[in-house]
Structures are given as structure tokens and as C-alpha cells.
Amino acid sequence: MFKQLVLSTALLAASTAALAQSKPAAAPAQPQAQAAPALTPEQQAAVQKQDANMAQAALQVAQLIDQGKAGEVWDGASTVAKQAVKRDDFVKQVDSDRSKVGKPASRKLAAITRSASKGGATPEGFYINVSFATQFANEKQPVRELISFHLDSDKTWRVSGYTLR
């Protein structure tokens, strides 16, 4: 089942190629942070398709966690995740966090963000983070459920983290 979470490189290649073809933004008159170049309709479509795929993959990860299968999530995780935390520690932390909040009652997609790390606290690479506003049985307010993905060297997005905040 976890193999369904591994996304094809074709989508990544299509969206990366589309982003690479974008025209650079005009230089600002004063030294300020430059805005990202505007995306073409094709690039916007590629990003939307990638967002939909990543949201679906994150939902599958969350559902595995709901079923008490954190070990399966770790088994299919990115190398950076496996280097950061041992399987038993990951399972214990997820189980501990989830036991405090109770069973999920509802889950709503809140945000999808992209980032690049040059190292340091977060291992180097490209990341996509999917956040859900999840209502749990033991919480009055929704909790942010964050599922992160890392682009591995084989150009495949794999889970790199799961947290509740």
C-alpha cells in the first residue's frame, strides 16, 4: 500500500521543466527582495497537479498513521528521515502524540508549501509540506497535522516527517 505513496518522476520533471521555462521577473528599481516570476498557465497547471498528488499522498500517510501503521510509513520514508530517526523512535513518538489527541474526527487540507534547504537543522534538499487542520477526539480546536516529503536522489518524493502541532 505504501508504494502508492511514491510519486512518479514524470510529474516532477514536467513541473520542474515548466518552472525552468518561466521568464525572469523584472528587476526592482530599488534593492528589495525579488518577487518570484509569474507562472504561465501550463506551469500553474503542473503545480496544481503536483499539489493534488501530494495532498493525496499525504492523506494516505495520515490514514496509515490513523490505522496504527507508523512503522509502514517509516519503512517507505526518505533516506533523510531514516538517518534522522530510528524506526522504533519514530513509531513511539507518533504513537505517543496520537494517543494524546485521540482518534481523528475530521481532516481538512490547510496548506501545501515548498522549500529548499541548504543543510543545517534540516537536511539539504527540496521539500513539500502538506498541512491538514485535523479535529481529534481529545482536542477542542483542530490540530495542525504536518506531513513532509523530501525529493530523494532518484527524483522520487518520499515521506520525511510527520508531526502534530
CA distances from 37 to 1, 19, 25, 43, 113 (A): 38, 9, 5, 11, 17
Q: What is the mean pLDDT of residues 101-125?
A: 94
The pLDDT of residue 104: 97
The pLDDT of residue 54: 98
- pTM higher than 0.95: no
The pLDDT of residue 33: 61
**Could you give all domains of the chain from N- to C-terminal order, each with its CATH number?**
8-19+41-164 (3.10.450.100)
The pLDDT of residue 119: 83
**Distance of alpha carbon 132 from the chain centroid:** 11
Point out which residues pair with 113 in neighbouring strands.
129
The pLDDT of residue 25: 36
Instruction: Report whether pLDDT(24) > 90.
Output: no
